[in-house]
Structure 1
Amino acid sequence: MPPFPSRLVDTTCVVSYFSSFPVKNCEYDALPTIQKALQSTIYSCTTPGTKAQRKAEYRHTNPAGNLFGLCFSLCEADRLGYAVQFIEFLCIVDDVMEDLPFKEACTEHDFLREALSDGNYQDEYEGVGPIGKSRRFLRDIRTELVKENDPSSLMLLETLDMSLEHRDSLDVEFLTLEDYIPYRKMNFDYEFVCQLLRWAMKIPMRLSPEEELLVRKYEHSIGVIVGLTNDYFSWEMERIQATDRLRNAVAVLIKEHSIPESQAKVMLKDYIMMEEKKVLELMHEFESNKEDFEQTTRYLSALELFAAGYSFWCSTCPRYHRIQKEEDFK
């Protein structure tokens, strides 16, 4: 099925949006599909009245636009719901894991991964608590996709398994932004997001070597942009969280350059804008290629729209601009 129709978003009235990328939103037609997928995920992975469910619901109270309508406007209509379910599942897991000590979070990620294996089994913790419920949800969605007998779906599930294995798996203090960026992309589940975008657009999971070479450069820059944009806007929320591991580029820059946080945020913003210029140069390089790579062009456009939509959502969402206190979620 073709994607839902999308419209350009007027970003000029949002002062906090600093990206140069245009934003599109498909929620005007896709909202019923998005809401159905969101509801099934939130109520499958959380318990009514709990902190986990309240945080999930609060994430989707942005009057400026729905997260998924803004980020996945080029996904095929019949796969958009799955894209919503996978990403919301990961968001819920992230919210839960950040409240756990490091070693316990690693153990819980391993517990989730069992749902993606052929030998997973029922046990007393299946369906109990947000992680147990999330594991059952993941097992059910895996069963659905395996039944399709589509090689691309199996590749997608393999990438998700690797993402769960490596996310939040380093208990180190990053001293430079250069060292931090690979971790930031990994903890954003970025490799999985790229594969999910290809899968949801019905684009080959592996392109020709020539195409993949350029695409990988493009994916890297987009990953840097979305990961650091999240850090830029989430800093005010994260800096007051009780955690044994603060992972944010603002904190890294403060330590790396011995500067105040206000200056670190300016430096981070400049870095993001510099990475956007690289993306535009890469797109120009690709468009100047004489080969006709229609599917790859669509994918690169989708990546740019993903970055733009995510940046716009981060710059407007209540989650980062009307910060809730811990007692608000009890």
Structure 2
Amino acid sequence: MEFRYSKEVDSSCYETRGLGGGIPLRTHENSLAEVKGTLQAQRDWSRYVRPVGEYRGGLGGRYSMICVTIPECLPDRLEVVSYANEFALLYDDEMEKLDLQSPPSSREILEVFGDDALENQVDADARPEKRLQARLFSRMLAIDSARAAVAMKAWAASVQLAARTRLTTFATLDEYIPARVVDVGELIWFGMVTFGMALSIPPEEHDLCMELARPAYIALGLTNDLFSWEKEREAARRGGQDRVFNAIWVLMNERGVSEEGARTICSEEIQKQVTKYCVVVEETKANLRLSRDLRTYIEALLYSISGNLVWSIHNPRYGSI
């Protein structure tokens, strides 16, 4: 993959806590575009939905989320991708506040990503989140209509699937991981990366693409669980829930270990998946029978892994563990 918009960060400038698998950290050179898009999403949410309050999203001190997870995002798409990412984080926090088994509130917010998710025109009675989504979609369509449609369709499918998986109690980590891949936003991130980098995965390669990328999404999901555990445990407590949709909770119950023991097991699984994915990337890069965009996408996820890890450690959204 050719690097045109990012630079590698000196490894002495960030922590990985032994979970990075030696993958370099890269960061986009135009961080101001991410700041602009992210803050606009927060302002719009505060104006049209509800005040964000003490909410913490994708922006960090030195490392903000999109700049380090999609470091080769096209410069003219970085702002809108950052807006979309912040919208997703705000929406995720909103979903955490809901008891998904208690209509109508959960049904109403899920309708933001219903069958008409690809419509960029909404009526005046639509939920404010729906109106913001339509405006976002219009901006993406104006930049790249084909890839915008792929991204928004993937986003709608992901949210609907994730809402169902959160209703399930998982007895083992092996049962939980496939659901976590869905919940971490495998399809959303597919849309973000392909739109942001102007990639088109041929239909005949789509299933293979998802299969090859799976270890990356397991690593991303478990990294999120490791660093968001305390935030999600507190959200569950406030919501009166008796379980937490998080690998730490699953491991504590499955194996009868402490929080610290569960974190150790989770960390070991992250390392295993990162090592596995590095092999996938090298094999995919060497397979010239695959399309160039598929090979680029698979390599791009390497930097999503390292970027997500460093962002999770250094970002105030989760704090330190």
Shorter-chain TM-score tier:
0.7 to 0.9
Query: How far apart in 2 are the matches of 1:47 and 1:9?
Result: 39
| 1:70-89 Cα deviation digits (max 9, x unpaired) | 11101111122221121111
Structure-2 change in CA distance of 1:228 and 1:51 (3 Å): farther
What is the number of equivalent residue pairs in this alignment? 310
For 2:130, which of 116, 132, 135 is the aligned residue? 135
What's the counterpart of residue 231 of structure 2? 237
1:1-330 aligned at under 5 Å gives the runs 4-11=5-12, 14=15, 16=17, 18-20=19-21, 21-26=23-28, 29-47=29-47, 52-55=52-55, 58-60=56-58, 62-103=60-101, 104-113=105-114, 116-118=117-119, 121-124=122-125, 126=126, 132-146=127-141, 150-170=145-165, 171-206=167-202, 209=205, 212=206, 214-241=208-235, 242-243=238-239, 244=241, 245-289=243-287, 291=289, 293-321=291-319
Confirm or deny: 8 A CA contact 1:16 1:316 kept in the other structure: no
* Preserved contact between residue 185 and residue 223 of structure 1 (Cα < 8 Å): yes
1:158–1:49 Cα change, 3 Å:
closer
Structure 1 residues 115 and 258: CA distance shift in structure 2, 3 A: same
Q: 30-39 or 308-317: which moved more?
A: 30-39
Provide, for residues 226-256 of structure 1, a one-character-per-residue CA deviation record: whole Å limited to 9, x for no partner. Answer: 0100001111222233232511001001111
What SS is found at the alignment partner of 1:16?
coil
Q: Is the 8 A contact 1:116 1:161 kept in 2?
A: yes
Letter in structure 1 aligned against 2:24:
P
Shift of 1:52: 2.6
The residue identity in structure 2 corresponding to 1:32 is: L
Q: 1:147 to 1:225 in 2, by over 3 A?
A: same
| TM-score, with structure 1 as normaliser | 0.83
Q: Cα offset for 1:53?
A: 4.3
Structure 2 Cα separation of the partners of residues 150 and 52 of structure 1: 30
How far does residue 61 in structure 1 lie from its aligned partner after superposition?
Answer: 5.5
Deviations 1:200-226 (A, max 9, x none): 1111132654xx565333311111000
Question: CA 1:225–1:89 in 2, change beyond 3 Å: closer, same or farther?
Answer: same
Compute the displacement of 1:182 (Å): 1.9
- Whether the 8 Å CA contact 2:227–2:320 is kept in 1: the answer is no
Flag the 1:72–1:261 CA change in 2: closer, same or farther, 3 A. Answer: same
Distance in 2, Cα, partners of 1:53 & 1:299: 36
Q: Which runs of 4+ in 1 moved over 6 A?
A: none
Alpha-carbon deviations, 1:27-49, whole Å to 9, x = none?
A: xx312211221122111122499
- Ranges in structure 1 where 5+ consecutive residues have no aligned partner: 127-131, 324-330
SS at match of 1:319: coil
Range moving further from structure 2, 178-187 or 88-97: 178-187
Q: Give me the whole-angstrom Cα distance separating, in 1, the residues matched to 2:88 and 2:139.
A: 18
Partners of 1:289 and 1:3 in 2: how far apart?
A: 23
Shift of residue 188 of structure 1? 1.8
Asked if 1 retains the 8 angstrom alpha-carbon contact of 2:80 and 2:140, the reply is: no
User: Mean alpha-carbon deviation: is it higher for 238-247 or for 228-237?
Assistant: 238-247
The one-letter amino acid paired with 2:307 is G
Provide the secondary structure at the position in 2 that maps to 1:6. strand
Q: Conserved in 2, the CA contact under 8 Å of 1:106 and 1:168?
A: no
Cα distance between partner residues in 1 of 2:143 and 2:73 = 19
Give the distance between the partners of 2:119 and 2:293, measured in 1 at CA: 33
Q: Deviations over 1:283-312 (max 9, x none)?
A: 232244354754333222211101110011
Cα RMSD (Å): 2.8
TM, length-normalised to structure 2: 0.86
Whether the 8 Å contact between 1:52 and 1:96 is mirrored in structure 2 is no
The one-letter code matched in structure 1 to 2:117 is L
Paired AA for residue 228 in structure 2: S
